[in-house]
Amino acid sequence: MVSVLRQAAAGCATHLGDASRSREGSLVDEHAHLAFSPQEKRATRRRVRRTLLIGVSALAVALAAVAATRSATEPKRQADCRQTLLIVLFWPKGHGAIRSVGFHADRKPHVEIYKYGTHGYPTRNFLVYGAANQSTRFSKTCKATAGQEPSGTIRRRITARKARAFSCRMPSGGVVQTKPIRNGLEIDLGAPRTRVVSAKLHPHGSTFDFSRQWCNPGDPPS
């Protein structure tokens, strides 16, 4: 009887050992199946690097676009250029190079403002520039100011739609103001309750309203 029990126990032990080895073998096989080969690991790393580079490049492009937009589109600006007489050039369709006065081609609809002079348009006389793409430039002569701005109706108003040069007087306390408008830029000259000029620059259909009381029109440089 004892002999029979010993044989049965030995058989069970053998069976359990085989089962344990079988399970261990299956786990080893499963882990071996899940493990990546060196080639697969390298391929995965390359895919991750590519994805990161694409993401960084897209972010750089987006930031550059935002920066460009901010530089081209400026907020309202206002300055006292401390001049009683101005020359205002209105270019509703831009212009080509004008060698007689040293102007480079500028095809954007724009306005240029200079100190009054009788000997062309030297760089030292430049005061303000504004274009339909909402870009603006002010010389160091013009000092930024806030508060009082050109307002009121333009007396004896005339509207110009072709390129002209205007000689304009500025009222006491007069300033130049530029401000973005829908699809363009507005440039106003004058003082509170005395608006002298209001130019509205657009890619097409720019206009220049001026006071015949304060400005005299003439031919633009050519």
- Looking at residue 55, its pLDDT comes to 54
Sequence letter at residue 94: G
Render pLDDT for 40-54 as a digit per residue (tens, 0 to 9): 666 667 775 666 555
d(CA 146, CA 152): 17
Q: Report the chain's mean pLDDT, rounded to a whole number.
A: 81
Nearest to 217 by CA among 162, 149, 179: 162
Helix residue spans in 82-154 (DSSP H): none
Which pTM was predicted?
0.68
Check residue 165 and give its pLDDT: 98
State the Cα–Cα distance between residues 155 and 190, nearest whole angstrom. 12
